[in-house]
Each structure stands twice: as structure tokens, then as C-alpha cells.
């Protein structure tokens, strides 16, 4: 028996302004440290250490001399880690601020020794053949014209403002409605259990190229990566799922996904058990148990055609226990189930005349 579910979605797109830093002044023999933050929906200086204390990041730097002929690479994929003693972020090799000229910096997180996958230049970040896992991949605004450590975010050092390169998706599920009192006075109620939840056809590997546009990185116009043809099915953890109510329950944890278009893309798949109870005046009695009902639906919505870069997306699935939808936004206690009520279409077939030429002896 096919069931229907409704899909609502909340999207938080963290769009930070560019963070170009132009400073002057010098300080002899001052080690270079990093002042690192990540963009938050509420403010642009959430401490990177709050969630990423044990996550080193990579740094590139270029020296700009008094003469253009003096320009040169200063740091190449330097690993930067948190130093608890000094409460500072330091590269694995100690660097000092040059006496003349200035430095430009580009950082990314988390650090990777794989320079084939991560290729970073002064005006370009290229990520090739990257497969999404549990790492929150981020890229930092380019900081330019620096001559000293500065107090910009949470530490004294090179200002680094990180942006999420992936998307984050989470799911919640609830019952669209659970009870209906008919005009005849009898009451029907349902009990819905979600046995499993999964995604089919998710693209997990792709390429992303960011070009510097003035002081900011220009993301693709549709906010998605260029995916490979590989697709993956993902099972969500619903071990702690309870019988559904009108209040949404989270399904597992939020997960990182490759930014991708959703049309003809990933599908949500649920397996359900639905129990139907009826009360005709003598209390509720179980009248039907439907086991292992498979429900599948597309995740594309008119207002959400993609999982976009730096977007945090929450889907809420409202499960209807009957074929009828109950209306576009059904009342959990009194849904409109006119399209789901069982009615009858009676008709009478014509008599079939039978003529028998036989004698009857009494």
C-alpha cells in the first residue's frame, strides 16, 4: 500500500562578507601566528577552537617585496596547530615577519599532505577528486598586505576567516496525523513506526574551483561542485527512533554532503510499520498491521533545487498513515481524509435467463 509524506525544509546559508586585511608597520623578530575564526550565522568570529581545537589547518603565504622582482613564495602547505600553553595557533616551523615588504595568506581546513587533491595558488583554490567523509572542509578568506600579527578575531595573529565548502544536511520525521473522528462517531487512530531511513543515489565525490574575485572567493553560480558519476546509498541511524508523534524527531546526526543539484538526484527511502486501531464505542481495538511498507520520495523542492556550498539544511518528513494526504497541512487531530475514506460503488448484474426443455414428473 503506497503512503504519502510531506516534505518541509529549513535552510541556513552562511554567507560571510570578504575579509581583506591591509595593515602597515613592522616588528622585528616577531614569530608569525594565526588568529583563526569560522563564520557563524549569528556572528563572523566564532572561535575555530570551539569545535576544531584538535583539527590542524594548512597555510600558504607569499612575500610581496618593495620591488616586484623580490616577490616569492613564503609558506607552502604549512601545518598549523593549536598551542595550549600560549593559547595560539602556530605553524610547525617557526616563521618571522620580514623586515620589509608584506605577506599574503590563504588557509584551508583540515590540513592535508595531499597537494594533488588540494592545489592552492595566489588567486585560485582547486580541489580535485575529493570524497566527502566526516571532515568539515573549509577555505579561508585571503588576507593580504600583512606585516605583523593583529588582533582581529580571537587571537593575536594572521586573521583567518573560514567558510564551509560542503553542505550539511539533517532529517527529522513526524506523523502528519494520528487520529480521525468520523461523522458516524467512530474513531480511527494510527501508530507509525519508522524501521529504517536511507538515502539513495547521493553523489559523494567531486571537484571545486574557487577563483579570487577582488577580495572574495567566487563560488560557482549554482553553489554546487562538479560531481563525478559515482553514487552512494547511505543508511541513516534511527536506532533511537520512537513511535511517531506530531512533534518532529531527529533522525541520526547531521551529515556533511557534497553540494549537488537535486533534480533527478538523491531520494529519501523509509521503511514503515503502521498499526490501525478503531473505536466504535467499546474502546480501541487493533484491526490492521501493515509491515515493511517502503516509501520513497525525491528531495528536490522548488525552493531548494540544490544542496549548496555553505548551506545547513534540515528536512522534516511528515508521514501520512493512509493513502489520503489529509490536506496540504493536515490537522493532526482532525485531518481532511475525504480522499481516503473507503466507499462502495454498488451495481447489479442483469439476470441470466435459462431455458430448459425438460419434463418434470411429480
Q: Residue 75, Cα to own-chain centre: how many angstroms?
A: 33
- Residue 130 to residues 200, 222, 259, Cα–Cα distance (Å): 20, 19, 12
DSSP state of 92: S
Q: Considering only 125-134, 136-145, 335-344, which range has the smallest mean pLDDT?
A: 335-344
State pTM to two decimals.
0.83
Q: Confirm if 113 and 56 have CB atoms less than 8 A apart.
A: no
72-96 average pLDDT score: 94
Q: Report the share of the chain in percent with pLDDT over 90.
A: 64
pLDDT of 2 strictly over 70? no
Query: Cell triple for residue 151?
Result: 588582533
Q: What is the pLDDT of residues 14-30, one digit of tens each?
A: 433 222 222 223 334 56
Distance (Å, whole) CA 295 – CA 67: 66
Q: Confirm if 5 and 295 have CB atoms less than 8 A apart.
A: yes
Distance (Å, whole) CA 253 – CA 120: 32
Name which of 270, 289, 44 is nearest 171 in CA terms. Answer: 270
58-66 average pLDDT score: 96
Distance (Å, whole) CA 134 – CA 137: 9
pLDDT of 39 strictly over 60? no
- Residue 128 to residues 136, 225, 229, Cα–Cα distance (Å): 16, 10, 14
- b (16+ CB within 10 A) / e for 304-321: bebbbbbbbbbbbbbbbb
pLDDT of 43 strictly over 90? no
Name which of 227, 252, 77, 256 is nearest 164 in CA terms. Answer: 256
Label residue 214 by pLDDT band (50, 70, 90): confident
338: left (phi over 0), alpha (psi -120 to 50) or beta: alpha
Q: Confirm if 312 and 39 have CB atoms less than 8 A apart.
A: no
Distance (Å, whole) CA 82 – CA 88: 6
Distance (Å, whole) CA 142 – CA 255: 27
SS3 assignment, position 169: strand
How do strand 156-164 and strand 34-38 relate by DSSP bridges?
parallel
**CB-facing half-sphere around the CA of 240: CA atoms within 13 A:** 6
Residues in contact with 327: Cβ distance below 8 Å, sequence separation at least 6, in sequence order: 335, 336
Amino acid at each position: 500500500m503506497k503512503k504519502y509524506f510531506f516534505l518541509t525544509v529549513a535552510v541556513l546559508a552562511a554567507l560571510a562578507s570578504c575579509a581583506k586585511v591591509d595593515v602597515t608597520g613592522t616588528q622585528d623578530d616577531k614569530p608569525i601566528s594565526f588568529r583563526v575564526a569560522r563564520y557563524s550565522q549569528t556572528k563572523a568570529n566564532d572561535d575555530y577552537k570551539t569545535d576544531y581545537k584538535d583539527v590542524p589547518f594548512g597555510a600558504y603565504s607569499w612575500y610581496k617585496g618593495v620591488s616586484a622582482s623580490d616577490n616569492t613564495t613564503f609558506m607552502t602547505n604549512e601545518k598549523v596547530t593549536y598551542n595550549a600553553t600560549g593559547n595560539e595557533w602556530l605553524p610547525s616551523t617557526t616563521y618571522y615577519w620580514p623586515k620589509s615588504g608584506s605577506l599574503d595568506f590563504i588557509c584551508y581546513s583540515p590540513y592535508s599532505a595531499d597537494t594533488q587533491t588540494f592545489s592552492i595558488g595566489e588567486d585560485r583554490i582547486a580541489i580535485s577528486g575529493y570524497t566527502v567523509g566526516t571532515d568539515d572542509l573549509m577555505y579561508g578568506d585571503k588576507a593580504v598586505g600583512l606585516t605583523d600579527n593583529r588582533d582581529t578575531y580571537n587571537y593575536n595573529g594572521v586573521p583567518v576567516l573560514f567558510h564551509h565548502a560542503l553542505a550539511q544536511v539533517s532529517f527529522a520525521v513526524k506523523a502528519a496525523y494520528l487520529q480521525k473522528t468520523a461523522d458516524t462517531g467512530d474513531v480511527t487512530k494510527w501508530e507509525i513506526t519508522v524501521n529504517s531511513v536511507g538515502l539513495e543515489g547521493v553523489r559523494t565525490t567531486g571537484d571545486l574551483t574557487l577563483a579570487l574575485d577582488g577580495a572574495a572567493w567566487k563560488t560557482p553560480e549554482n553553489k554546487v561542485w562538479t560531481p563525478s558519476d559515482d553514487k552512494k546509498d547511505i543508511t541513516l541511524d534511527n536506532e533511537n527512533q520512537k513511535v511517531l508523534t506530531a512533534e518532529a524527531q531527529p533522525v541520526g546526526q547531521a551529515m556533511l554532503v557534497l553540494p549537488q543539484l537535486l533534480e533527478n538526484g538523491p531520494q529519501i527511502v523509509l521503511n514503515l510499520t503502521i498499526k490501525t486501531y478503531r473505536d466504535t464505542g467499546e474502546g480501541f481495538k487493533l484491526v490492521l498491521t501493515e509491515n515493511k511498507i517502503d516509501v520513497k520520495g525525491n528531495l528536490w523542492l522548488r525552493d531548494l533545487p540544490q544542496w549548496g556550498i555553505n548551506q545547513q539544511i534540515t528536512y522534516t518528513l511528515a508521514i501520512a498513515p493512509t493513502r489520503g494526504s489529509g490536506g496540504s497541512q493536515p490537522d493532526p487531530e482532525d485531518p481532511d481524509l475525504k480522499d481516503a475514506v473507503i466507499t462502495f460503488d454498488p451495481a447489479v448484474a442483469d439476470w441470466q435467463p435459462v431455458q430448459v426443455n425438460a419434463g418434470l414428473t411429480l
